[in-house]
Amino acid sequence: MKRENKRTGVFTRRALLVGGAQIAALGALGAKLYQVQVVEGARYSTLAETNRISARLIAPPRGRLLDRFGNVVAGNKLNWRALLIAEQTGDVDATLDNFAQIVELADHDRARIERELRRHRRFIPLTVREFLSWNDMAAIETNAPDLPGIVVDVGTTRIYPLGPSLAHIVGYVAPPNEADVAEDTMFALPGMRIGRAGVEKFHDVNLRGHAGAVQLEVNAVGRVIRELDRQEGTQGHDIQLTIDTGLQKAVLDRLGDESASAVVMDARNGEVLAMSTNPSFDPSLFNSGVSQAQWLEWTKNKKAPLINKAASGLYAPGSTFKMVVAMAGLEARAISPYDSVQCPGYLDFGDRRFHCWSKYGHGSMNLRDGLKNSCDVYFFEVARRTGIDRIAAMANRFGLATKLDIELPGTRTGFMPTREWRMKQGKAWNIGDTIVSGIGQGYMQLTPLSLATMVSRIATGRAVQPHLTRSVSGVLQKGAKAEDWPLIGVADKSLHAIREGMWAVVNEAGGSGPLARLDMPGIQLAGKTGSAQVRNVSREQRENGYKSDNLAWELRPNALFVAYAPYDNPRYAMALVVEHGNAGAAAAAPLARDIMTDVLNRDPAGRREGSQQVASVTVPMPPGLGKNQ
Closest C-alpha to 485, from 327, 263, 241, 268 = 268
Mean pLDDT, rounded, for 537-553: 60
Q: How confident is the model at residue 621 (pLDDT cuts 50, 70, 90)?
A: very low
Say how far apart CA 508 and CA 21 lie, in whole Å. 119
Amino acid at 13: R
pLDDT at 622: 35
Say how far apart CA 468 and CA 452 lie, in whole Å. 14
pLDDT over 50 at 625, yes or no: no
Mean pLDDT, rounded, for 92-111: 87
3-state secondary structure of 526: strand
Topology, domain 54-241: Penicillin-binding protein 2a (Domain 2) (3.90.1310)
pLDDT at 619: 34
pLDDT at 88: 83
For a pLDDT cut of 70, what percent of the chain falls above it?
A: 86
Q: How many CB atoms lie within 10 A of CB 5?
A: 9
Say how far apart CA 394 and CA 149 lie, in whole Å. 66
pLDDT at 112: 82
pLDDT at 294: 79
Tell me the C-alpha to C-alpha distance, in Å, between residue 395 and each of 192, 380, 446, 451, 574: 43, 17, 10, 10, 17
Mean pLDDT, rounded, for 366-373: 96
pLDDT over 90 at 454, yes or no: yes
Amino acid at 626: G
pLDDT at 16: 76
| Pairing status of strand 239-241 against strand 65-66 | parallel
pLDDT over 50 at 36, yes or no: yes
pLDDT 10s digits, 334-351: 999 999 999 999 999 888
pTM for the whole structure:
0.80
DSSP state of 378: H
Torsion, CA 129, CA 131, CA 134, CA 135, rounded to 10: -50
Helix, strand, coil: what percent of the chain each, to 5? 45, 20, 35
pLDDT over 80 at 224, yes or no: no
Mean pLDDT, rounded, for 590-599: 96
Question: Which residue(s) pair with 226 in the sheet?
Answer: 217
Tell me the C-alpha to C-alpha distance, in Å, between residue 304 and each of 172, 277, 313, 533, 579: 17, 10, 10, 19, 11
Containing 230, the helix (H) or strand (E) segment is strand 224-231
Q: How confident is the model at residue 65 (pLDDT cuts 50, 70, 90)?
A: very high
3-state secondary structure of 623: coil
pLDDT at 301: 85
Say how far apart CA 465 and CA 486 lie, in whole Å. 10
pLDDT over 60 at 541, yes or no: no
pLDDT over 60 at 544, yes or no: no
DSSP 18-42: HHHHHHHHHHHHHHHHHIIIIISHH
pLDDT at 568: 93
Q: How confident is the model at residue 74 (pLDDT cuts 50, 70, 90)?
A: very high
pLDDT at 232: 72
pLDDT 10s digits, 10-21: 567 777 777 777
Q: 3-state SS string over 448-493?
A: HHHHHHHHHHHHHCECCCCECEEEECCEECCCCCHHHCCECCCCHH
Choose between 387 and 51: higher pLDDT.
387
Do the Cβ atoms of 330 and 383 come closer than 8 Å? no
Query: Of the ranges 33-42, 445-454, 478-487, which one carries the lowest mean pLDDT score?
Result: 33-42
pLDDT at 243: 97
Mean pLDDT, rounded, for 526-549: 69
Mean pLDDT, rounded, for 42-71: 75
Choose between 278 and 226: higher pLDDT.
278
Do the Cβ atoms of 562 and 575 come closer than 8 Å? yes
pLDDT at 252: 95
pLDDT at 44: 56
Architecture of domain 245-281+311-469+490-628 in CATH?
3-Layer(aba) Sandwich (3.40)
Q: For the chain, what are the domain ranges?
A: 54-241, 245-281+311-469+490-628
E-strand ranges in 12-146 read 53-58, 65-66, 72-84, 126-129
Question: Which residue(s) pair with 213 in the sheet?
Answer: 57, 231
Q: How confident is the model at residue 381 (pLDDT cuts 50, 70, 90)?
A: very high
For all residues of the chain together, what is the average pLDDT?
Answer: 85
Say how far apart CA 622 and CA 350 lie, in whole Å. 45
Query: Of the ranges 42-46, 56-60, 95-99, 559-563, which one carries the lowest mean pLDDT score?
Result: 42-46
DSSP state of 188: G
Closest C-alpha to 81, from 120, 50, 113 = 113
Choose between 209 and 392: higher pLDDT.
392
pLDDT at 553: 67
pLDDT at 459: 97
pLDDT 10s digits, 174-184: 878 778 777 77
Q: How confident is the model at residue 463 (pLDDT cuts 50, 70, 90)?
A: very high
Most confident residue range from 543-557, 592-606, 614-628: 592-606
For a pLDDT cut of 90, what percent of the chain falls above it?
A: 50
Do the Cβ atoms of 148 and 221 come closer than 8 Å? yes
Query: Of the ranges 130-134, 418-422, 517-521, 545-549, which one carries the lowest mean pLDDT score?
Result: 545-549
pLDDT 10s digits, 405-440: 899 999 999 999 999 999 998 899 999 999 999 999
Tell me the C-alpha to C-alpha distance, in Å, between residue 326 and each of 136, 349, 466: 68, 20, 24
Query: Of the ranges 423-427, 428-432, 460-464, 610-614, which one carries the lowest mean pLDDT score?
Result: 610-614
DSSP state of 271: B
Q: What is the largest CA-CA distance in the chain?
A: 157
Question: Which residue(s) pair with 219 in the sheet?
Answer: none
Say how far apart CA 398 and CA 245 lie, in whole Å. 28
Containing 226, the helix (H) or strand (E) segment is strand 224-231
DSSP 286-320: HHH---HHHHHHHHH-TT-TTS-HHHH--B--GGG
